[in-house]
Structure 1
Amino acid sequence: MSTLDELADRIERLLLRHEELRRTNELLQQQLTQVSQERDSLRQRLNTARARIDALLEHLPADPAQATPDRQEERS
């Protein structure tokens, strides 16, 4: 009978461990989903910021000499 009791105890522990692992896996899946959403949001913000910077750069003169005439007039 001792062997049967030991087997029943082991099965009970395995069932408890299985349930713990299932809950842990569920929590990890939730965290993964949350982190993935945050990553996607940050990626979108980065792309928006890059687009804004590119638009600002397009407004800057290509030749640095073109950007300094105002400063040269101020010195005179």
Structure 2
Amino acid sequence: MSAAQIEQIAERVERLLVRYEELQRTNALLTQQVEVLTHERDSLKSRLSAARARVDALLERLPEIKSPA
């Protein structure tokens, strides 16, 4: 194997390492975004559940409407 070939391989390995590091950073950012969005989703689901419970409680308090006979 010639020195030029070894140099080419070394350059490719270096580029691959740089790309790998970029992908690791991107993955970390995406993982963080997923965690934030998951927390936000869970919070919204909880708020929706509470709102539904309040609506159900209000509906229970409404007087029953008698249908005409």
Shift of the alpha carbon at 1:64?
A: 5.4
* Shift of residue 49, structure 1, vs aligned partner: 0.2
| Correspondence for 1:63 | 65
Cα displacement string for residues 19-70 of structure 1 (whole angstroms, at most 9, x for unaligned residues): 00000000000000000000000000000000000000001112157xxxxx
Mapping 1:33-52, distance limit 5 Å: 33-52=35-54
Report runs of 4+ in structure 1 exceeding 3 Å deviation.
Answer: none
> Which amino acid is 1:15 matched to?
L
Whether 1:22 aligns to 2:16 is no
What letter is aligned with 1:47? S
RMSD: 1.0
AA aligned opposite 1:3: Q
Identical pairs, percent: 54
> In the alignment, residue 7 of structure 1 is paired with which amino acid?
I
| 2:25 counterpart SS class | helix
Normalized against structure 2, the TM-score is what? Answer: 0.90
- Aligned residue type for 1:25: N
> What is the count of residue pairs matched by the alignment?
65
Give TM-score scaled by structure 1 length. 0.82
Corresponding residue for residue 2 of structure 1: 4
